[in-house]
């Protein structure tokens, strides 16, 4: 196994040799190692003269491959190559599947998958919707896939983790490179409850050109892509475009008309994307296997305990809260409760999983 992985790593080091050309070379020579040992001229009729000469201009870099392998082992990671039975079948079907995936964590590719993406400059509404959707999708047994970027991606991963399901972060850099740095803790949590994966080797830095390319993997790994809050030029629309090219479902969450923050989502809906108001819209579109679950999850409402489980004051505070953040000052004015008492009640409701506190002493109902 190690020898095969080393050969795959060495092959991936060669310039211009991606997944498609790897498959062509292996089909011709029988194995990745045989392809590497074949004379450079024998590559010319398979990948073209120019590519063959550029790829074989230098010796095969076995030292780099061994260093990558050792580093991957230290991190508890592993490789999944096109030759492996465990290579994700959905990803194998796309036009340009990567030759290999560098994986940190335990990726279960047998689970049904859904991508959830959106803008980095997300509003509180967008982040709340992404988090709610991801949590409920995770509860319904789907693995939520996103790119661990700021904004919607981060909210999607957090929601899936809170929902107790799996989530995959597909990076536009090496899987060990934490980007953005603020997501260091999230990066670690995802490895424990899913996987961080990339087509780029360990240590590979983020670059503006790698992120659009990785978007094809986010959609390619997924049965469908849900876009939550995306302006007209959002990178999330690139993911949606890839999903369409890959014959996958595309969903969009409507948002505020003014300001343009959801202009990309509204355009997708006009062009035929499924409008998403709740998790049931996603589950129903994915097919009969989810229809029964969809009937049980037509919205995000969580039953609120009644009777003795909520005191009259707790009920009063909870009923005044909704999906829009409410500052403690108007909440205090409406309830007539002193601020210390109100804070105690809000803390109790938060501990019961019914309320979420946002920055600036603002509160919303927990989805």
Task: Give the domain CATH number at 185.
Answer: 3.40.50.450
Q: How many CB atoms lie within 10 A of CB 49?
A: 11
Indicate whether 290 and 335 sit together in one domain. Answer: no
Q: Which residues pair with 356 in a beta bridge?
A: 364
Q: How many CB atoms lie within 10 A of CB 124?
A: 15
Indicate whether 225 and 263 sit together in one domain. Answer: yes
Q: Is the pLDDT of residue 297 over 50?
A: no
Number of structural domains the chain divides into = 3
Task: Give the domain CATH number at 53.
Answer: 1.10.150
Indicate whether 273 and 127 sit together in one domain. Answer: yes
Indicate whether 244 and 179 sit together in one domain. Answer: yes
Residue 302's pLDDT band, with cuts at 50, 70 and 90, is very low
Residue where the block lists tokens 């590979």: 204
Residue 309's pLDDT band, with cuts at 50, 70 and 90, is low
Indicate whether 156 and 290 sit together in one domain. Answer: yes
Measured between alpha carbons, how far is 290 from 294 in angstroms, rounded to an integer?
6
With a CB cutoff of 8 Å and minimum separation 6, the contacts of 208 are none
What sign has the CA pseudo-torsion 110, 297, 147, 15? positive
Indicate whether 239 and 118 sit together in one domain. Answer: yes
Measured between alpha carbons, how far is 365 from 352 in angstroms, rounded to an integer?
11
Indicate whether 330 and 221 sit together in one domain. Answer: no
CB 56 within 8 A of CB 17: no
Is there a domain that residue 104 lies in? Answer: no
What is the per-residue pLDDT for 204? 96
Measured between alpha carbons, how far is 137 from 131 in angstroms, rounded to an integer?
10
Residue 290's pLDDT band, with cuts at 50, 70 and 90, is low
What is the per-residue pLDDT for 358? 81
Indicate whether 151 and 210 sit together in one domain. Answer: yes
Residue where the block lists tokens 């890959």: 246
Domain residues for 330? 307-365
Question: Across the beta sheet with 326-327, what order do the strands follow?
Answer: 326-327, 362-365, 355-358
Stretch 246-274: mean pLDDT: 93
Measured between alpha carbons, how far is 10 from 14 in angstroms, rounded to an integer?
7
Indicate whether 271 and 186 sit together in one domain. Answer: yes
The string of pLDDT tens digits covering residues 170-198 is: 999 999 999 999 999 999 999 999 999 99
CB 200 within 8 A of CB 174: yes
Task: Give the domain CATH number at 339.
Answer: 1.10.10.10
Picking from 295, 315, 340, the residue at the C-terminal end of a domain is 295
Indicate whether 352 and 280 sit together in one domain. Answer: no
Indicate whether 150 and 221 sit together in one domain. Answer: yes
Indicate whether 182 and 67 sit together in one domain. Answer: no
Stretch 287-310: mean pLDDT: 45
């Amino acid at each position: 196994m190690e020898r095969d992985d080393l050969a795959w790593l060495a092959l991936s080091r060669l310039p211009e040799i991606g997944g498609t050309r790897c498959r062509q070379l292996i089909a011709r020579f029988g194995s990745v190692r045989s392809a590497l040992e074949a004379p450079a001229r024998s590559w010319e009729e398979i990948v073209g003269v120019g590519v063959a000469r550029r790829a074989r201009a230098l010796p095969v870099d076995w030292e780099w491959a061994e260093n990558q392998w050792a580093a991957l082992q230290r991190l508890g990671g592993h490789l999944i190559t096109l030759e492996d039975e465990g290579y994700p079948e959905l990803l194998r079907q796309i036009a340009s599947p990567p030759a290999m995936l560098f994986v940190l964590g335990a990726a279960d590719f047998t689970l049904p998958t859904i991508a959830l993406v959106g803008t980095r400059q997300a509003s509180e509404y967008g982040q709340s919707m992404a988090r709610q959707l991801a949590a409920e999708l995770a509860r319904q047994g789907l693995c939520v896939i996103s790119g661990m970027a700021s904004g919607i991606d981060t909210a999607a991963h957090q929601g899936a983790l809170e929902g107790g399901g799996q989530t995959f972060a597909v990076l536009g850099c090496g899987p060990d490179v934490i980007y953005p740095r603020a997501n260091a803790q999230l990066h670690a949590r995802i490895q424990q409850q899913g996987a961080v994966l990339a087509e780029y080797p360990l240590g590979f830095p983020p670059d503006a050109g790698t992120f659009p390319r990785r978007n094809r993997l986010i959609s390619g790994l997924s049965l469908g892509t849900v876009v939550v809050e995306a302006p007209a030029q959002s990178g999330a629309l690139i993911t949606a475009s890839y999903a369409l090219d890959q014959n996958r479902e595309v969903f969009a969450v409507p948002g505020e008309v003014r300001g343009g923050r959801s202009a990309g989502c509204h355009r997708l809906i006009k062009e035929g994307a499924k409008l998403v108001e709740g998790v049931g819209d996603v589950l129903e579109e994915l097919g009969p296997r989810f229809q029964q679950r969809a009937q049980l999850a037509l919205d995000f409402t969580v039953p609120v305990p009644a009777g003795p489980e909520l005191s009259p004051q707790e009920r009063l505070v909870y009923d005044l809260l909704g999906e829009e953040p409410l500052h403690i000052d108007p909440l205090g004015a409406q309830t007539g409760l002193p601020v210390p008492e109100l804070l105690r009640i809000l803390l109790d409701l938060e501990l019961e999983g019914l309320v979420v506190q946002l920055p600036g002493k603002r509160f919303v109902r927990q989805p």
